[in-house]
Structure 1
Amino acid sequence: MSSKSGDANLSSPKQGKSGFDFFQFLYKYGTIITIVLLIIIFSIANPSFLQMNNIINILRSISIVTIIAIGLTISLSVNGFDLSIGSVASLANAVVISMFVWHSQPTVIAIIVALVCALLVGLLNAFLIVKVRIPDMLLTLATMFVVQGVALTYTRSATISENMIMPDGSYAEGKIPDTFGMIGKVPLIIIIMFVIVILVHIFLTYTKHGRYMYVIGGNQEAARLSGIAVNKYKVLAYVLSALFAAIGGIVLASRVMTAEINAGSSYLMDAVAAAFIGLSVLGAGKPNAFGTFIGAVLIGILANGLVMMSVPYYAMDIVKGAVFASALALTYYKMK
């Protein structure tokens, strides 16, 4: 007993000692420092990197990733994980364009139908995770393939565009409205991204519902014992995750004005990287919208700078993967 007490006394001065903690500093500011260093390096390599047109281009390029990653951030807040977001974005992308091209529907109806389809996926995920108690990563991996298959079946594995040839040999007569096309253009696409980041940051940080989600993510059983409706908030998290994935898919559709095969799947890993990199921004230690945005900025700057330096596209994933691994190593080192 006395030996343990002595050990505790010996360790307490070390714990109480105030000094510079290099790893704590990197944990809080490492991502931001990395962004600054990348800006300096890319600016030296190519002076046009810091031109306003390129900055706008970076913000535009990360808009869709950020929107999709924000949904993933919400699912992470309840200690969940949603791998189906890329497929949901693809589904919403296909549905909204098909509503215009195949069915000649107005913009509001097309967007509502796409969002409803995504919400159904979110509700299915929530039901199977909350009620059937399938582990979230395994379940959303399964629904990722299911939704991806549904999207491919719906589009007949073909790109949907104006004047496309239909199965009966005729040409599609529907047109994509110019008003819908404005969503994916500057400045509206950037404004939508910032509005979503701000709203979700306020929701998670300053409302009781967001705080309840963090409590659930920290200790689900303690949250249940304290009277928090755990299942209700987990359902909400997965529904919102699907909703923001759908918004990302709709914005993508507006940007390219077509529905490409599995268009949203390529955004999955970047969204996951942005959300996890964001855990350590300013020492948050938890999923947060601001950190996710900073993580997306890091990915966007990296991709843009590598392109301007003429780095082959097949080598970019090596660099992005290395940065992602470094961010995760630092994050989880401090979480031990």
Structure 2
Amino acid sequence: MLRGVLKVQNNKAINFTKDWAIVIAVILLILIFTIAIPNFMQTSNILNILRSISIVTIIAVGLTVSLSANGFDLSIGSTATLANSVVVSMFVWYSMPTGVSILAALVAVVCVALFNAFLIVKVKIPDLFATLATMFIIEGLAMTYTGGGSISVGMPRLDGTPTEGTISAFFLTLSKTPWIILIMLVIVLLVHLFLTYTKHGRFIYAVGGNEEAAKLSGIPVNRYKTIAYIFSAVLAGIGGLLLASQIGSAQINAGAGYLMPAVAAAFIGQSFAGHGKPNAIGTLFGATLVGVLENGLVMLSVPYYSLNIIKGLVLALALASTYYSRKK
């Protein structure tokens, strides 16, 4: 009997560790870096970590919604680049007000979402291949639109045409602390509430869990797949807008570097609290794990060119954990 009790307790301990592994990992990393780096836990550094993960988290939460519908949007980095290019061009080239500039960028990214949905839902191309193709198409469109160069205040267009527009002070404020952190937290909360507590969110999970069963239940599968890709593109676009606000210009392939961290955050977060499926809160913790790790390594003077090795290993471990659990 004692053996049976111990076995039950061991199973509970293992399940607890598995369900909360991501939170435990974040806490352990913070403890290790706090011991190794005296000023790691200073308020300024904590805010710096939160600010640094804000754009990644927002883009990753969009990816989380597409993963919830059993999709995979590889075009999020290019979509962020497109939003970055469009919003800055509206300001600098055409002297448009803030609202119009942001709206133009969001319209552009919704078009990307509808194109993805067309390829996946109508043409029946698998998500991975469809969004891979879109990634290159949108990347090329963004570069063609900007003429293969950057856009910044006072810089003439490639044909020599002078520019007189400026980026509004309000727009530049969006990427400053605490606003960018608050935007991130609000988006995470809203997506969490949408996926967990609304009919539409549950339908998206149903589509991702078993598409055929969802169809038989009367759920319009194609519509909810489209909704998932709209979420993914719009949140990637918001990430691109905040990136434009942060750097004050549009750069070539500005959003490309956010693809891998966003994928890592979304997959790492699937195990949060035993969910075993994509969820917004878990994605936030996944991004926090990557952000704390990167910040600590930088403060320990680890060469910047080695950071991708660490982040790649973290992603590999996350994918291994996710798919090994599913196999079992």
Letter in 2 for 1:251: L
For residue 227 of structure 1, the aligned residue among 198, 218, 224 is 218
Task: Give the TM-score of the pair, scaled to structure 1.
Answer: 0.93
For structure 2, the 5+ residue unaligned runs are: none
For residues 208 and 102 of structure 1, do their structure 2 counterparts lie closer, same or farther at Cα, with a shift above 3 Å needed?
same
1:63 maps to a residue whose letter is: S
- Pairwise mapping of residues 1-336 of structure 1 onto structure 2 (< 5 A)? 18-21=8-11, 23-336=14-327
Q: Distance in 1 between matches of 2:160 and 2:127?
A: 43
Q: Distance in 1 between matches of 2:39 and 2:314?
A: 24
Structure 1 residue runs of 4+, over 6 Å off?
none
User: Once the 2 structures are TM-superposed, how far is the Cα of residue 324 of structure 1 from its aligned partner?
Assistant: 2.0
Is the 2:173–2:179 contact (alpha carbons within 8 Å) kept by the matching residues of 1?
A: yes
Deviations for 1:209-268, whole angstroms, at most 9, x for unmatched residues?
101111111100000001111111001001111010000000110111111111001000
How many percent of aligned residue pairs carry the same amino acid? Answer: 60
CA RMSD of aligned residues (A): 1.2
Structure 1, residues 5-53: CA drift from partner, whole Å, max 9, x if none? Answer: xxxxxxxxx9xx7342365333212111111111111111111110000
2-structure distance, mates of 1:159, 1:26? 47
Contact 1:78/1:234 (<8 A) preserved: yes
Larger Rg: 1
Amino acid at match of 2:316: A
TM normalised by structure 2 equals 0.95
1:73-101 deviation per Cα after TM superposition (whole angstroms, max 9, x unaligned) = 00000100100000000000000000000
**Equivalent-residue separation in structure 2 for 1:140 and 1:217 (angstroms):** 17
| Secondary structure of residue in 2 paired with 1:184 | coil
8 Å contact kept, 1:24–1:334: no
Distance, in Å, in 2 between the alignment partners of 1:144 and 1:23 is 40
